[in-house]
Amino acid sequence: MSTPDDPDALRAEVRGWLAQHHSADLDRREWLSAVVDRGYAVPRWPADAFGLGLPDELARVVEEEFRRADAPGSGQDRLNLWAGTVLAYGSADMRARFLRPLLLGELNMCLLYSEPGAGSDLAGVRTRAVRDGDGFLVDGQKVWTSHAAQADYGMLVARTDPGVPKHEGISFFFLPMHQDGVQVRPLRQMTGERHFNEVFLTGARVPAANMLGEPGQGWRVLQTALAYERVMLGETNRGASTRSAKQGSGDADLVELARSRGKFDDPVLRQDIARVLMLRQVNRWNGRRADSELAAGTSSPLVSLGKLVMSRLLHETGRVQSAIAGPEAMLEGEGNPEGDDANFAAMNAFFTSIGGGTDQIQRNIIGERVLGLPKEPDPYRGVAFEDVPRSG
């Protein structure tokens, strides 16, 4: 498949293809299938992985034209963490089984990372995966798992060798969720939502063919998966910042909100709104910088900057919304829509401060891997995981 290497020619080609093929009333699966087959879903990936092998500059042209046409499906090479991780570390068999269904959105997925005793320090996971014939038996508990009840597979980090240092004894799997050994219990958030869950694994079985990377290579695989997740969190703000956004209207327009309340002439409020708009622009620039350093199978510490900026952006947005709403920000419910939105924005901001690695973890990564500051001391570095003292 020939693709122009000139940005203007490529833009014209993509625009023409969209004009010919895109329609708002198209079946979503039919549309995504056409996008994947044309290579526009993952334009940076090679042809044997449904891509076009384009450099980032040209891939951005494809994404821009899709956004202009309000057409979904492009940019998955940056934002589809499930498919990206399979491309980077999955076997040829796994790629054949999972890549296309993941790009088409046919498989529901969840992340089986955090545990009650291993949240910020994922290398401390205690969930065990023990070899049993052509698979592994998994026992343990995961927590804060989004959409676990609907998931077909969970991306699982589990300890396969406790006799080596903690980072070396972890493996990474695609665990089938629809089996007797998996129990999902919902967790209620302070926003009233219930899309987080705790997951109990009791003799759950995962085929050895569903391991990504080699045994004990799970920490490396996890870093790539986390990089994709942080790009997604940093750029798209997974989890709406307001109730109206959750219902599909996007981030609240603070400028119009301030004008509607007669507060746009307040110089302090205008400065606060400008700060939010500045953070949005910085986040876009940082996303492009991180993308330029990312390649399949790698991670960049720059994505932690984007994740941290998005967290700051959501907290600032919630604070400014509350200031605009005034006393109504103390109210919630359908009878007080602006106050309800402000409350939701303020509470939901903590989702990004915690999910995908806490703000504190991002600062550690930035300090050590971007600024070159000394690492924090670890008295148990090099000690077998089973010999590390633990409480409880």
- 332 part of the active site: no
CB distance 104 to 33 below 8 Å: yes
Using the 8-state DSSP alphabet, how is residue 118 labeled?
A: B
The residue among 68, 63, 67 whose CA lies nearest residue 10 is 63
Structure tokens at 221: 């695989």
What amino acid occupies position 62? V
Residue among 63, 115, 229, 235 flagged as catalytic:
229
What does the CA dihedral 315, 317, 319, 325 come to, rounded to 10 degrees?
-150
The residue among 146, 209, 207 whose CA lies nearest residue 354 is 146
Query: How many residues make up the chain in this entry?
Result: 392
Give SS3 for 156: strand
User: What are the residues facing 154 on neighbouring strands?
Assistant: 110, 175
Spell out the residues 6+ positions from residue 276 whose beta carbon is closer than 8 angstroms to its own: 254, 313, 316, 317, 320
Phi, psi of 27 (to 5 degrees): -60, 135
Place of tokens 């020939």: 2
How many C-beta atoms lie closer than 10 Å to residue 121's C-beta?
Answer: 11
Query: Which residues are designated catalytic?
Result: 229
